[in-house]
Amino acid sequence: MHDMSESILTKLTQLNRDDFQDLVALGTFSSYENRVFLAGPCNIGKSSLASILIDEQIPKTWYSTDGLVIHFGRNGIDLQHRKMIPLKKGSGDILTKLLLGNPELKEQQRLPVESQIEQNVDEHRDEVQDDPISNLTTHELKLNPSKIENFPPKQQRQKPKQQLERPLPKTLRGFQEKPIHTAHSIQDGLLGKIKKGTYNMKIAPSDLVDFGGQKSFDMTHQLFIQHRGTFILMFDGRKGLDTELEEYPQGDVTAASILVHWITSVLTYCTKSDDKMPRIVFAATHSDSFSEVEKKKLVLTFQEKLTQMFSSHKLHEHILYDKVFFINATDGADVEIDRLKDKLVDIAFQQSTWGQQMPNVWVPLDLQISDLRTDGVKLITKEKLLEMNNKNKEFALSERRVEDFLLVQHSIGKLLYFNEPTLRDFIVIQPSAMVNILRAFITDRIFWPENGPIRDILENLSFTGVLTKTDLFTLWLQPAFKDILMNDSIQEYVVQVLLHLDILVEPKHYAGKDFAADLYLVPCIVASKLPPKMQNSATDDRTICIAYHLKKTVVPSALSFKLIGAAINIWPLKVVDARFCLYYQAAVMDTDTRNELQIHVKGQRIVAYLVNILSKHLISPDLATTVQECLTLALGRILKFYGHCFGSENHNVTSDLFEIEVGEVCKGETCLIPLSDAKTKAHWRCRNGKIHKTKYPLNWVVDKNKKHCDSNCKGLETETQLLTPDDQHFVQLARTIGIGDFYNFFIELGMEKSDYDNLNFRYFSNPMDFMLMGLFEWRDKTESDQLTATFGNLQEALTAIERQHYLCQIHREDHTLVEQAHSRLQDVPSDDVIDALTEKNLIGDCVVHLGVELCLSIGDIRKTLYNFPRDLNAQVHDLLIKWKNCNETKMVKPTIYRLMVALKHIKAAKGLSFVKKTYGVA
């Protein structure tokens, strides 16, 4: 029993050993699951090979695969003879289950004149209709009549008597009355075998996944890659590995580059395993174009090249680079294809999960779902599944065990089920349906209509990466999707799945109140590249960088799409000329009104640039560290997501795969140093020969709880002292200095005692407002004297009162609410909330401080104070309305989240609590 539990526990990490007994109380059976993936460039014969493996007619004309095609239950492995065999169309999982469990069927064999039988079956379709076992020998087709009689009449589904009495063609003579194998009859037979403990597999189902070759499908391909099974990476033997492929008009694309891309996509998230799964084999096509001698020479050339490319890969044992199968994918009798099939079978038998024990109690529910698939059902509610389960009598699972079953089925790619609050009500029992749904907008240009509204939508999406909800539903109104997206609730569920997978992203913020509501971003489909002008804005003097360096290979495109999607979920995309700054493997976001975040994917690195509007010296270390923490956490979650798909439970996958580097921009290039080195050095020399200080790059990893300087701190650097502080800097300085030291500091700034007394008379009730207005008056006075108010002036005054290190904390900020930047908080707060904050006195006496935190100008604040003298509520309300209705382009959208941040900063605890409660924030 212990060995049995081990195999199931590997798939159910949440399953406690003490809970295991009830799961296997009715016994277990040996399970065999296999999957073969066909991948590589366009127009090389992948679909032709798939046709051979499932015994369908081989296409003579190339039609590019739109996305991917999954052939469920169309291929199998004869466990006794260790041979790969096709399973006939129309049978699907039902034929597989028939062969697994029917007492009278021992094995499957080909008829010696198979093509003649198939022809006659087609010609007499009315006599032998939907026959799921037409390629079995006649003596194997007899079922025990007593068993058929025991079936309920409805489940027998017999043909009309006159139809059965028709004479059969000669080729089928020897068939007795055609046995009727319905989903229910097969299930009944299996249940009987389960009860007797004789349930045993004879044929292992093997699914085929045929991937389209266009790069447009990178994101969706990654979702359907599994860690079990074998990848056949194919290329055209006539063109070899290094010829530029005309099917890729962007240029510089070869078979070798595409194979590297696939190796990256498949193996990035894998860890070393005893069975070395997944395995990758190589097949060259069009062998019929060469003589035997030429083929042998080419095979050696291909093997040498692949060995050179992959022998040093960190997971090279997964890659069978020393053997190339040179096949003719248009010839089902090709000997080399037979050798390839034998290799696929050998690999399948080497899987550590091959023959693992699975609970018998799962079989009835598995069969019921299989029946629904055969009937063309794509998606069911969880409520419906639980109803089906409850009818299974002693095999009925508890609701918790149904959950376990669904998670395992999801992990092996049989269905899609997401245990998330907004997603768990539906189950996609036909995963290929999700492919069709994605195909509506994630598709290549060659599949677009020549003209019309659909093409216009796809053109705009490719250029901007933006898809309105209206346009999305317009795409889904096409006939190809109507049988899947049958009602509003299913459409909404699919939208939530796509959001969960980061294929669609809801923009969190945008400039302007009415800019664009109800839209999605699609990072994986946008084709426009980051404009050089925008990239060049990350200049040496204004930028610090952090990079996640993938140690062994390039960054998989699907990973970069998901990371950009995750970043957009935290910070607002920058908007320039009414266009979101979303590009191919790049995005530009506003972290606040003074800083922007750029994310670029460059080869082996994901690089983030934090760019200040004036100088890198003004970048808050708290902001930089918060950005770093969010990106690192998001990257870790993405790697865990993909790692789980590949069977990895390694929780240190981020540190194992990536090295973090920090740095600056130098002469238009990114100069980076490993973070571990930066922590031990004061400076480093880059490849341009320039000496860089590590002080500012280390702002990515400050201790946000540390509020005091180190003993060796020398204060602000000379470059920083020449800069001008903004209103937010004054807030932090006033918070640090306190009212006790403010008088002496104010006088050292060159102000008069009378200035101080006047301020005290006006703002005595709130020390923060008092100090802020004092600093604003000093700045106004300095600028009226044609001078510049600088950090250096502030430093001199603080040094004079022996508080010189107060200015070191001036760039510190509170970003603790970033974790609550949920999409529902990105709406503009309602008038009712604004009114309630003032009517219920939830903010208090902090008018000037509130205005600064809302990023209003001091001019706007003074106007409010002038218009509503001695009316605190009116002053607060006026500031909130000004902020809510502000149309200045430099202003970030006035959102609920921004209001929460302002209330937290002014310590309006009652107001913050009220807003959180109103909008359901924990």
* 678-697: average pLDDT: 90
Q: Which residue has the higher pLDDT, 647 or 469?
A: 469
Q: Which residue has the higher pLDDT, 112 or 594?
A: 594
User: In this model, does residue 116 exceed pLDDT 50?
Assistant: no
**pLDDT per residue over 321-355, tens digit each?**
999 999 999 999 999 999 999 999 999 999 888 88
User: Tell me, what's the pLDDT at 698?
Assistant: 94
Instruction: Quote the crossing angle between the two packed helices 767-784 and 753-763, to the nearest 10°.
Output: 140
Query: What is the distance between the alpha carbons of residues 437 and 486, in angstroms, rounded to a whole number?
Result: 12
* 16-23: average pLDDT: 56
Query: What is the distance between the alpha carbons of residues 672 and 66, in angstroms, rounded to a whole number?
Result: 41
User: In this model, does residue 407 exceed pLDDT 70?
Assistant: yes
Q: Is 505 helix (H, G, I), strand (E, B) or coil?
A: strand
Cβ(471)–Cβ(528) below 8 Å: no
**pLDDT per residue over 514-571, tens digit each?**
444 477 878 777 778 888 888 888 999 999 999 998 776 667 777 777 788 778 777 8
Q: Please name every residue paired with 605 in a beta bridge, in sequence order, or none if there are none.
A: 549, 602
User: Tell me, what's the pLDDT at 60?
Assistant: 72
* 879-893: average pLDDT: 78
Beta strands in 349-478, from DSSP E residues, in sequence order? 356-359, 379-381, 426-428, 466-468
* 858-864: average pLDDT: 92
Q: Which residue has the higher pLDDT, 407 or 296?
A: 296
User: Tell me, what's the pLDDT at 284?
Assistant: 96
Query: What is the distance between the alpha carbons of residues 590 and 599, in angstroms, rounded to a whole number?
Result: 12
Query: What is the distance between the alpha carbons of residues 522 and 505, in angstroms, rounded to a whole number?
Result: 6
Query: What is the distance between the alpha carbons of residues 485 and 789, in angstroms, rounded to a whole number?
Result: 62
User: In this model, does residue 765 exceed pLDDT 60?
Assistant: yes
User: Tell me, what's the pLDDT at 331?
Assistant: 92
User: Tell me, what's the pLDDT at 645?
Assistant: 55
Q: Is 357 helix (H, G, I), strand (E, B) or coil?
A: strand
Instruction: Classify each residue of 544-555 as buried b or exposed e, where b means 16 or more C-beta atoms within 10 Å of its C-beta.
Output: bbbbbbbeebbb
User: In this model, does residue 189 exceed pLDDT 70?
Assistant: no
User: Tell me, what's the pLDDT at 566?
Assistant: 79
User: Tell me, what's the pLDDT at 588?
Assistant: 92
Q: Which residues contact 292 (CB under 8 A, 6 or more apart)?
A: none
Among 630, 508, 626, smallest CA distance to 574 is for: 508
User: In this model, does residue 475 exceed pLDDT 70?
Assistant: yes
User: Tell me, what's the pLDDT at 103?
Assistant: 27
Give the model's confidence band at 677: pLDDT under 50 very low, under 70 low, under 90 confident, else very high. very high
Q: Is 342 helix (H, G, I), strand (E, B) or coil?
A: helix
Query: What is the distance between the alpha carbons of residues 640 and 174, in angstroms, rounded to a whole number?
Result: 57
* 741-767: average pLDDT: 91
User: Tell me, what's the pLDDT at 4?
Assistant: 42
Q: Is 15 helix (H, G, I), strand (E, B) or coil?
A: coil
* 393-410: average pLDDT: 86
Query: What is the distance between the alpha carbons of residues 517 and 3, in angstroms, rounded to a whole number?
Result: 55
- Widest pairwise Cα distance in the chain: 117
User: Tell me, what's the pLDDT at 25?
Assistant: 64
Query: What is the distance between the alpha carbons of residues 529 and 215, in angstroms, rounded to a whole number?
Result: 15
User: In this model, does residue 46 exceed pLDDT 80?
Assistant: yes
Percent of the chain with pLDDT over 70: 75
Least confident of 86-90, 282-286, 303-307, 577-581: 86-90
* 406-430: average pLDDT: 85
User: In this model, does residue 7 exceed pLDDT 70?
Assistant: no
Give the model's confidence band at 303: pLDDT under 50 very low, under 70 low, under 90 confident, else very high. very high
**pLDDT per residue over 260-292, tens digit each?**
888 887 887 676 666 788 899 999 999 999 999
Query: What is the distance between the alpha carbons of residues 257 and 790, in angstroms, rounded to a whole number?
Result: 54
Q: Which residues contact 335 (CB under 8 A, 6 or more apart)?
A: none
Q: How is residue 349 written in tokens?
A: 């038998």
Which residue in this structure is represented by tokens 């695969």?
65
User: In this model, does residue 673 exceed pLDDT 90?
Assistant: yes
The DSSP result for 93-156, as a single string, is: HHHHHHHHH-TT-------TTHHHHHHHHHHTTTTSTT-TTTTS-GGG----HHHHHHS-HHHH
Least confident of 439-448, 468-477, 733-742: 439-448
Q: Which residue has the higher pLDDT, 252 or 281?
A: 281
Mean pLDDT score across all residues of the chain:
77
Query: What is the distance between the alpha carbons of residues 697 and 661, in angstroms, rounded to a whole number?
Result: 9
* Residue 282, Ramachandran bin (φ over 0: left; ψ between -120 and 50: alpha; else beta): beta
> Omega of the bond prior to 160 within 30 degrees of 0, cis?
no
**pLDDT per residue over 59-113, tens digit each?**
776 665 545 677 777 788 988 899 998 876 544 343 334 334 332 222 333 333 3
Helix H, strand E, coil C: the string for 147-169 is HHHHCCHHHHCCCCHHHHCCCCC
Which residue in this structure is represented by tokens 């005692």?
753
**What is the pairing mode between strands 582-583 and 586-590?**
antiparallel
Q: Which helix (H) or strand (E) holds 779?
A: helix 767-784
User: In this model, does residue 161 exceed pLDDT 50?
Assistant: no
Phi, psi of 447 (to 5 degrees): -100, 0
User: In this model, does residue 156 exceed pLDDT 70?
Assistant: no
User: In this model, does residue 381 exceed pLDDT 80?
Assistant: yes
Q: Which helix (H) or strand (E) holds 300?
A: helix 292-310
Query: What is the distance between the alpha carbons of residues 597 and 565, in angstroms, rounded to a whole number?
Result: 14
User: Tell me, what's the pLDDT at 542?
Assistant: 94
Query: What is the distance between the alpha carbons of residues 406 and 224, in angstroms, rounded to a whole number?
Result: 17
**pLDDT per residue over 769-827, tens digit each?**
999 999 999 999 999 988 999 989 999 999 999 888 888 877 777 777 776 666 567 67
> Omega of the bond prior to 278 within 30 degrees of 0, cis?
yes
Among 385, 370, 343, smallest CA distance to 96 is for: 370
User: In this model, does residue 508 exceed pLDDT 70?
Assistant: no
Using only the alpha carbons of the chain, give its radius of gyration.
34
In the chain, the domains with their CATH numbers are 2-29+355-436 (1.10.10), 35-79+205-350 (3.40.50.300), 92-201 (no CATH), 532-701 (no CATH), 718-805 (1.10.533.10), 816-918 (1.10.533.10)
Query: What is the distance between the alpha carbons of residues 863 and 518, in angstroms, rounded to a whole number?
Result: 36
Start-to-end C-alpha separation, the chain? 45
Q: Is 285 helix (H, G, I), strand (E, B) or coil?
A: strand
Q: Which amino acid is residue 773, in one-letter code?
A: M
Instruction: Classify each residue of 876-913 as buried b or exposed e, where b means 16 or more C-beta atoms within 10 Å of its C-beta.
Output: bbbbbebbbebeeeebbbbbbbbbbbbbbbbebeebbe
The conformation of residue 829, written as its DSSP 8-state character, comes to P
Give the model's confidence band at 225: pLDDT under 50 very low, under 70 low, under 90 confident, else very high. low
Q: Which residue has the higher pLDDT, 24 or 770?
A: 770
